Amino acid sequence: MAEHPILDAASLGALIRQRRRDLGLRQPDLALTCNVGVRFIVDLERGKPTCQIGKVLTVLQGLGIQITGRYEPMTPYRQPAEGSLLLDDDPFDGDGAA
């Protein structure tokens, strides 16, 4: 199984195009298989950022492409109390660790 990082709509489109070609499918064949229009496949492969996510997922499934979510740890966002300023290094932020 090969991994391909998806950084934007263009890289997703390139992956879809390559997989379709690897499977020997033409755009009309893929569209028919996934019950979407040929224009949708063309736009998707060109990296159109406004393609409908539900249809994108249908095409990915039709091509046997799985999406796996992975994220880097981040500091959780905390909403400051109304009228106050909350800084990460504020010793008086109410967590008891002053």
Whole-number percent of the chain with pLDDT over 70: 82
pTM: 0.71
Q: What is the pLDDT of residues 23-52, one digit of tens each?
A: 999 999 999 999 999 999 999 999 999 999
Structural domains in the chain? Answer: 9-62 (1.10.260.40)
Spatial CB neighbours of 59, under 8 Å, sequence gap ≥ 6? 16, 30, 34, 36, 40, 41, 44
